Amino acid sequence: MSMGQPFIEIVDRLDAAYEALSLNELDLFLSAFTPDARWMLHGKGAGLPFAGLRTGHAEIRRMIELIYVDFKMRDFFVEDIVANETSAAVRWSAMSTSLATGQQFQIEVFDHIILDGRKIKSLTQFFDTAAVAASAGIMRSMKVGAEGSIIPHRDGIHLDAER
């Protein structure tokens, strides 16, 4: 299967949208979305105030603005885009600084996208929400060591303090 023109166009459009996001050009970024697009940003359990489901350009814009109130991102880089005519997966990274604590960290993000023609209909975003929340002082970060190290368990993850 060769990379045909529709595939190249999809990747180019997504790449341009992410570049607009990295430059905080929200109008250009939002033009890549359908008017009724949905963006699900996981992280409510970690206490991130901008996490949750947003529908439509106005709600998505407000969510992004909330992120920029708490974090400054630089060195934004799209690592991979895998796409077909109806969906895409985008893996990107950036250096981020919590404006509340000054802590810097690299964030790695995975976006699952559903396309409606040439526009984004749905975006579901995954990243290490606990690390982001800890960097902003929202939740206490876990320490390595006897009092709080994470231990794998066949039924999930348990803290050693729970044994």
Residues 143-157 pLDDT 10s = 433 444 433 333 433
One-letter amino acid for residue 111 of the chain: D
Q: Is the pTM of this model over 0.85?
A: no
Pick the closest to residue 98 from 60, 134, 49 (CA basis).
134
The pLDDT of residue 136: 82
Q: What is the pLDDT of residues 105-143, one digit of tens each?
A: 899 999 999 999 889 999 999 988 888 888 888 764 444
| Residue-level pLDDT at 33 | 97
Can you say whether the dihedral through the CA atoms of 104, 111, 26, 28 is positive or negative? Answer: positive
88 closest CA partner among 123, 41, 60: 123
